[in-house]
């Protein structure tokens, strides 16, 4: 007898096995990554989502804290075909519901056909279809989470590698992965991690060599303060961005963004550089994309599968952004030189 239920938009209910009890609701998405479940589950970009793993076995190499990308699990719930006790116990300790023993291939196919959907989950000894449907009824669309940045950002400035000999980076934390900070620190940069609603005045006081907008969850339009910050500082300081950061930069400079049907989430997304023709494999996790870069930004890289913009640049304004995650974790290291390019802007 089932002790977990997943209610999917359209009120279809799927029976499952409870691995960590509780109720949850969120946007149902999937990742094609076959490793890196610790990194994915601690990625702040999954805030307010229910993460489905398409790979059939999750947890086959345990759970190690040094692989975490933040200090907590961010998806509202986790769904897998088979989940090991290590991962299940970790999620239970975090208070995050988890279920398995259901056909994740069917769920992934439905998301691909219908797009990312709202869902509700009820798991544990008191689970019921009614409770899952109630969670579904209360679920909001991602664009409705207008202040999601407050859920994932630092509350006050944090400084890393203060005595570094390299450039100074002001990193606006819209939900930054830890490996973005470590990638910059490894290059001897001093990194000031700032709240998502940082003001231009705060940036002026720090006088950084680069202003960097991080990845993060949700609709980039809702990060109003970050959009205003970029619009205010463009031309005064070199600008960089990753994932949501690229979208924020595009919006701030007169472009437009839009929600994708089911997004890019995985570690095998091919990206072509339009200047060299080289194709690299990348790690991605986003449900929004740049629909129109505007007149100030040039598209320099595109996704091979759907031609969405993966890189934007403006040499005159010292701007460089990437839609994918050059720091990977998990994933390929094909594009780690992005961080060298960012710091080169400061040196120039």
Element (H, E) at 135: helix 129-138
- pLDDT attached to residue 1: 65
Catalytic: 110?
no
* pLDDT over threshold 90, residue 348: no
* Residue 216 is assigned to a ligand binding site: yes
266 is in an annotated binding site: no
Q: Given this model, what pLDDT does residue 85 score?
A: 98
Out of 74, 145, 192, 325, pick the active-site residue.
Answer: 325
- The per-residue pLDDT of the chain, averaged, comes to 97
Query: Residue 93 annotated as binding?
Result: no
Percentage of residues in the chain having pLDDT higher than 70 = 100
* Residue % of the chain over a pLDDT of 90: 98
Cα 37 from Cα 61, distance rounded (Å)? 10
Q: What integer pLDDT is reported at residue 5 of this predicted model?
A: 98
CA distance 162 to 193: 12
Q: How far apart are CA 56 and CA 1, in angstroms?
A: 22
Q: What is the pLDDT of residue 199?
A: 97
* Residue 340 host element (H or E): helix 337-347
Which pLDDT does position 201 carry in this prediction?
A: 98
Roughly what angle, to the nearest 10 degrees, separates helices 337-347 and 178-185? 60
Are 135 and 175 within 8 A, CB to CB? no
Query: Per-residue confidence at 220, pLDDT binned at 50, 70, 90?
Result: very high
Active site residue 192: no
- Measure the CA–CA gap between 310 and 278, rounded to whole angstroms: 13
Active site residue 243: yes
From the candidates 47, 145, 243, 313, which is the catalytic residue? 243
Q: Determine if residue 36 is labeled as part of a ligand binding site.
A: no
User: Domains in the chain, ordered, with CATH?
Assistant: 4-140 (3.50.30.20), 149-347 (3.40.50.880)
Is residue 28 annotated as involved in ligand binding?
no
pLDDT in tens, 135-152: 999 999 999 999 999 999
pLDDT digit string (tens) for 22-49? 999 999 999 999 999 999 999 999 999 9
Reported as a single tens digit per residue, the pLDDT across 55-75 is 999 999 999 999 999 999 999
Model's pTM, two decimal places? 0.97
The pLDDT, as a whole number, for residue 347 is 81
């Amino acid at each position: 007898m089932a002790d977990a239920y997943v209610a999917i938009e359209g009120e279809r209910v799927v029976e499952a096995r409870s691995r960590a009890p509780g109720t949850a609701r969120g946007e149902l998405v999937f990742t094609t990554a076959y490793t890196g479940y610790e990194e994915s589950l601690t990625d702040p970009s999954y805030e307010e989502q229910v993460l489905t793993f398409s790979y059939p076995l999750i947890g086959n190499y345990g759970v190690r804290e040094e692989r975490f990308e933040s200090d907590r699990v961010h998806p509202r719930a986790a769904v897998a075909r088979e989940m090991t006790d290590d991962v299940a116990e970790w999620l239970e300790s975090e208070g995050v519901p988890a279920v398995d023993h259901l056909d994740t291939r069917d769920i992934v196919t439905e998301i691909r056909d219908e797009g990312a959907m709202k869902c509700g989950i009820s798991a544990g000894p008191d689970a019921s279809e009614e409770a899952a449907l109630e969670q579904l009824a209360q679920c909001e669309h991602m664009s409705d989470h207008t202040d999601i940045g407050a859920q994932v950002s630092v509350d006050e400035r944090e400084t890393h590698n203060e005595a570094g000999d390299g450039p100074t980076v002001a990193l606006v934390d819209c939900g930054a992965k830890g490996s973005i900070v470590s990638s910059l620190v490894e290059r001897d940069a001093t990194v000031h991690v700032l709240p998502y609603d940082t003001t231009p005045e705060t940036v002026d006081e720090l006088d950084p060599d680069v202003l960097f907008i991080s990845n993060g969850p949700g609709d980039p339009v809702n990060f109003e303060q970050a959009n205003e910050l970029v619009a205010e500082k463009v031309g005064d300081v070199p600008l960089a961005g990753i994932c949501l950061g690229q979208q924020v930069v595009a919006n701030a400079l007169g472009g437009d963004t839009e929600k994708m049907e089911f997004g890019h989430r995985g570690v095998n997304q091919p990206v072509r550089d339009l200047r060299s023709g080289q194709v690299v494999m990348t790690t991605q996790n986003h449900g929004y994309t740049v629909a129109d870069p505007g007149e100030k930004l040039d598209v320099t890289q595109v996704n091979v599968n759907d031609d969405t913009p993966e890189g934007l640049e403006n040499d005159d304004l010292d701007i460089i952004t990437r839609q994918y995650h050059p720091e990977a974790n998990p994933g390929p290291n094909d594009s780690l030189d992005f961080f060298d390019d960012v710091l080169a802007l400061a040196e120039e």
